Chain A
Amino acid sequence: MTSERAFTLDDTEVEFEPGDSLLTAALASDRYIPHLCAHPDFSPHGSCRVCLVEVDGHNRPACTTAAQPGMTIRSDIEPINVMRRQLLQLLFVEGNHFCPSCEQSGQCQLQATVYTVGMTDLHYPPLGPRRELDASHPDLLLDRDRCIGCELCVKASSEVDQKHIFSLGGRGTHTQLIVNSEHNQLGETDMTPDDRAAHICPVGVILFKTGNYAQPTGQRLYDQQPISAIGNHRAEDVDLPPTP
């Protein structure tokens, strides 16, 4: 018998707790739905759209859709994966992503999602935006080229660190990461390497100045196992600040 608090996800049943979104319920049952801006510790806002699923025939983001009994959800189907690939391609061309030189390569959630969803090219012309690099902080570096506007650093800095250091400014493809200080410089803030915001970025924007490229290729987080098997936020555990 179908449980009263369950929906079907790609033909198997997933139970949920009151208040669960489709994404939280699926992840709690070890069923992976690709996602980038959602994080279990923060409220979802559905901006990246990568967790798109088909809900009773309509496309909805799994992170902001409340689980309801009897829903029929399809996630790992080609029309949805085509749209996910397009979303990932747009994220790539709207920033400057050169993985071979990126400190985060191998433990980056955007890159790992690209592998899992099967994107192999950019498709769209790269926009090549010019964004300011910020090296003003003694321990941390901001490489805005790779920002996907997920707002996780904004939430971590305000809700956990209580420092309100980051916000996003501008609209559409001009959206940029802003530091809430007089000259938009991280060095003017009281951010420290053990702030939650220093560890939350799913891509390679908020970086430590030392200790990068420590893991050899082949031994990095997502080299052996896909993000669909080991999950999204594992790098937060491994990129602790290096001891000075």
Chain B
Amino acid sequence: MTDITPINRKLRIATCSLAGCFGCHMSFLDIDERIQALAEIAKFDRSPLTDHGDLGQCDIGLVEGGLCNEDNVQTLSLFRRQCRVLVAVGACAVTGGVPAMRNHYSLTECLQESFINGVGVDDPQIPNDPELPRLLDKVRPLQEWIKVDISMPGCPPPAEAFVELITAVREGRTPDFTYSMRHFD
């Protein structure tokens, strides 16, 4: 990671979940009572944790999940524009993760299996409401679309990794993820 300077005001942090399961957000909340100390030094911008819709200029963007549809791509592009340090959070953001296991099959095969031929399907039809974002042919890690500043692997990364990440960005240094914080599962 390059060009970070220590930050002496409250950090602004935005978070989002793309093709992920919210497990990374849950792990972030596992910082338990340290959330009080976090509230002293940071403020949440757009995040599913706050329901705050617009994305302002942020110091840190925590992006959970890979890219599986056009909506994910737009959200990620917006996060990249607005966030000084963009973090790929978790196995799905870093590698595509479990959702990318659909890449073995064509999109048509996936949709057929899920909505037409799958076990227990009632009234088989492939959803085509114009409100639904169009799916990408493959599920991709974030690094394939934008520059990622920090990758935090793990399914999910442990709460301690979030604490270290935020502390490091505040102090203007590269996070030092210890052995137990860097697992790939």
Contact = CB atoms under 8 A, between A and B. Distances in A.
Contact of B95 (A97, A130, A223): A97
Interface string A92-123: 10001111111001100001001100101111
Interface in B123-171: 138, 140-141, 143-144, 148, 151-153, 155
A128 B138 contact: yes
Contact of B143 (A118, A121, A223): A121
Interface of A is mostly: loop
A130 B101 CA distance: 11
B12 interface: no
Interface centre among B103, B148, B151, B184 (most CB of A within 10 A): B184
Interface of B is mostly: mixed
Interface string A119-139: 011110110101000000000
A215 B16 CA distance: 32
Q: Which bucket holds chain B's interface residue count?
A: 20 to 34
A231 to B, nearest CB: 16
Contact of B185 (A100, A118, A126, A226): A100
B95 A92 contact: yes
Contacts of B184: 99-100, 105, 111, 114-115
A126 B94 CA distance: 11
B185 A99 contact: yes
Contact of A122 (B143, B152, B155, B177): B143
B138 to A, nearest CB: 7
A223 B179 CA distance: 9
A105 to B, nearest CB: 4
Interface in B65-108: 88, 91, 94-98, 100-101, 103-104
B183 interface: yes
A121 B91 contact: no
A2 interface: no
Contacts of A125: 144
B98 A98 contact: yes
B151 A121 contact: yes
Contacts of B143: 121-123
B152 A120 contact: yes
B179 A115 contact: yes
A217 interface: yes
B62 to A, nearest CB: 15
Given A99-B185, A100-B185, A114-B184, A122 B101 contact: no
Interface residues of A, number: 25
B182 interface: yes
A24 to B, nearest CB: 26
Interface centre among A100, A102, A105, A111 (most CB of B within 10 A): A100
Given A97-B95, A101-B101, A106-B185, A121 B153 contact: yes
A226 B94 contact: no
A217 B185 contact: yes
Given A120-B151, A121-B143, A122-B141, A98 B97 contact: yes
Given A99-B155, A130-B104, A121 B148 contact: yes
A197 to B, nearest CB: 26
B158 to A, nearest CB: 11
Contacts of B148: 121
Interface of A: 92, 96-102, 105-106, 111, 114-115, 118, 120-123, 125-126, 128, 130, 217, 223, 226
Given A92-B95, A106-B185, 20 more contacts: A96-B101, A96-B103, A98-B96, A99-B91, A100-B91, A100-B185, A101-B98, A105-B185, A111-B185, A115-B182, A115-B183, A115-B184, A118-B182, A120-B94, A120-B182, A121-B88, A121-B151, A126-B96, A128-B104, A217-B185
